[in-house]
Structures are given as C-alpha cells and as structure tokens.
Amino acid sequence: MSRNLIIGAGLTLFFTALAALSFLWTPYDIEVLDIPNRLLRPGGAHLLGTDHFGRDILSMIMMGARTSIAVALVAVGIGMGLGVPLGLWAAARHGSLLDDLIMRGNDLVFAFPSLVIAILITAVFGPSAVNAIIAIGIFNIPVFARLTRSAALPLWERDFIRAARVCGKSSTRISAEHILPNITNLMIVQGTIQFSLGILAEAALSYIGLGAQPPTASWGRMLADAQTLVSLAPHVALIPGFAILLTVLGLNLLGDGLRDWLDPRIRVVRT
C-alpha cells in the first residue's frame, strides 16, 4: 500500500467519521445563537472558535461535512447509476445508431459549461441541496458513460466474452455478469475523483447561495458568511476552507492510491 493510499484513506475516514458523529453528537447546538460569545478565537470552550452569531465552528464543520458528503455522494450515485448502464449499453451495441446517440448525447452535455448550467438550474428551481445534487449529478453521467464504454469495448473482443456468447447468453446478461465485474476497479477510482469534484462543486454552489439553505450548515455558506469578516476574524474564513481542502485532497490521494493498488494500468479522466 502506498503512502498516498494511507494518507488519502485517513483523511477521508476522518471527515466521514466527523459527519457520522454529527448525527449523534456535536459539541454545541448550531441553531442556538450566542451573540455575546461571537467571533471567539480557537481554543478554550470552543475548540475552533465561534462565528459572527456565536455558533460553535467545530459543530458547524461537522454538520457541514454531512451536507458536503451527502450531496457529493448522491451526485456520484446519479452519475454512476445512469452513466454506467448507458456506457455498457452503448458498448454492447457498438457501432449501432443507439451507440451513436448515446455518445453524441454525452458530447453535448460535456460541451455545456457545467457550473453555468448548475447555476441556471438552481436559479430557476430555487436554491436547495436537492437541486444542487441534480445539477452536479447530471454532469457526472457522461463521465461514467464514456469511461464505461471505452473500458467495455476492448472486453467484448476477449475470448471469455466470446465463450459466454457461444453459450447463448444475451448481451444484457454478458454486460451484467462479465463486463461489469471487470470494470469495477476503474469505476471505484473514477468515482473517488468525481466525489472530490462534487465536494468542490457543492462548496462553490453554496458559496454563491445556490446550495443548501440555512439552517442546514454547509462549508461553502460558512465561507460566504465569513467573507466580510476576513480581516476581523480570519479563523472564521480559514477553517471551512481547510476542511474543504483536506477532504478533497484526501479523496484525490485515495483515488490515486486505489488506482496504483488495484490496477496501475487504469487511467482516470480529470478536467
């Protein structure tokens, strides 16, 4: 196991554990305002200090971790859940009109500036965590569809697939029983990368006010609130940023580490 894998898995586990713990316990209730104790520096009763409403920053980071992870995870789920079957289908019918349609559709989604469309979707349908998930998830679909297709195509030429065909298995069964298990590693690695991009996208959307709405805590919103206080209380702006940075870094290192560990030949797509 590489150093990347250990550091990446450690950081990812840490933030996942923070998010999980927030369901059971947080040091303070983040919905209770405590104005006299606002903008406290880290240390003392509040380990990471307090924000402009006197809310405990550690508690908000824990609740924010929950939001970030949930949004990014479901968005990756949408991308995989729709993209992988589409890719498998296109590969099974390689060269057909269906294959062409699926791939052209993918190219089209890729051509859209994803952030702009995410802004459009959340602006029209109202800002919410669910709309952020949809906006981020849509752009995960072509990533997985393309990758699945390009990984599945060479498999269809292999002898064990031909044998399965001779046995009379349908192409749907072959895709599910033989192709899919052979591309799982690749999907796990790409899934990790998309997860990290999802965390960044969620942070950006909630920073501009189009993500999860108060009282739901989110790291991007914490940064937006802290922006005017940056000279007064820098820690309020620094801590959520480090939380995002470390989570994304952890996931990226985990993705790289997993790739080297599972199969060094895997090449992931990163834009």
Among 121, 212, 233, 266, binds other proteins (CB under 8 A): 121
Among 117, 155, 176, 180, binds other proteins (CB under 8 A): 117
48 is a contact residue toward other proteins (CB under 8 A): no
Among 107, 163, 172, 177, binds other proteins (CB under 8 A): 107
Asked if 235 and 42 touch (Cβ cutoff 8 Å), the reply is yes
Among 91, 186, 204, 212, binds other proteins (CB under 8 A): 204
Asked if 50 and 39 touch (Cβ cutoff 8 Å), the reply is yes
**HEC profile of the chain:** CCHHHHHHHHHHHHHHHHHHHHHHCCCCCCCCCCHHHCCCCCECCECCCECCCCCEHHHHHHHHHHHHHHHHHHHHHHHHHHHHHHHHHHHHCCCCHHHHHHHHHHHHHHHCCHHHHHHHHHHHHCCCHHHHHHHHHHCCHHHHHHHHHHHHHHHHCCHHHHHHHHCCCCHHHHHHHHHHHHHHHHHHHHHHHHHHHHHHHHHHHHHCCCCCCCCCCCHHHHHHHHHHHCCCCHHHHHHHHHHHHHHHHHHHHHHHHHHHHHCCCCCCCCC
140 is a contact residue toward other proteins (CB under 8 A): no
86 is a contact residue toward other proteins (CB under 8 A): no
Residue 257 Cβ vs other proteins, minimum distance, rounded to whole Å: 12
Q: Pick the piece of the chain touching other proteins (CB under 8 A) from 23-31, 50-58, 117-125, 157-165.
A: 117-125
- In the region spanning residues 222 to 251, those forming contacts with other proteins, defined by CB under 8 A, are 223, 226-227, 230-231, 234, 237-238, 240-241, 244-246, 248-249
Among 35, 124, 166, 167, binds other proteins (CB under 8 A): 124
Q: How far apart are CA 244 and CA 219, in angstroms?
A: 7
10 is a contact residue toward other proteins (CB under 8 A): no
6 is a contact residue toward other proteins (CB under 8 A): no
Residue 94 Cβ vs other proteins, minimum distance, rounded to whole Å: 15
Residue 23 Cβ vs other proteins, minimum distance, rounded to whole Å: 25
The smaller minimum CB distance to other proteins, of residues 178 and 207, is found at 207
153 is a contact residue toward other proteins (CB under 8 A): no
Residue 63 Cβ vs other proteins, minimum distance, rounded to whole Å: 18
Cβ neighbour number for residue 100 with a 10 Å cutoff? 12
The smaller minimum CB distance to other proteins, of residues 215 and 271, is found at 271
120 is a contact residue toward other proteins (CB under 8 A): yes
Burial (CB count <10 Å: 0-12, 13-18, 19+), residue 153 = middle
Asked if 55 and 28 touch (Cβ cutoff 8 Å), the reply is yes
Among 24, 35, 97, 116, binds other proteins (CB under 8 A): 116
* Interface residues toward other proteins, by CB under 8 A: 104, 107-108, 111-117, 119-121, 123-125, 196, 200, 203-204, 207-208, 220, 223, 226-227, 230-231, 234, 237-238, 240-241, 244-246, 248-249, 252-253, 270-271
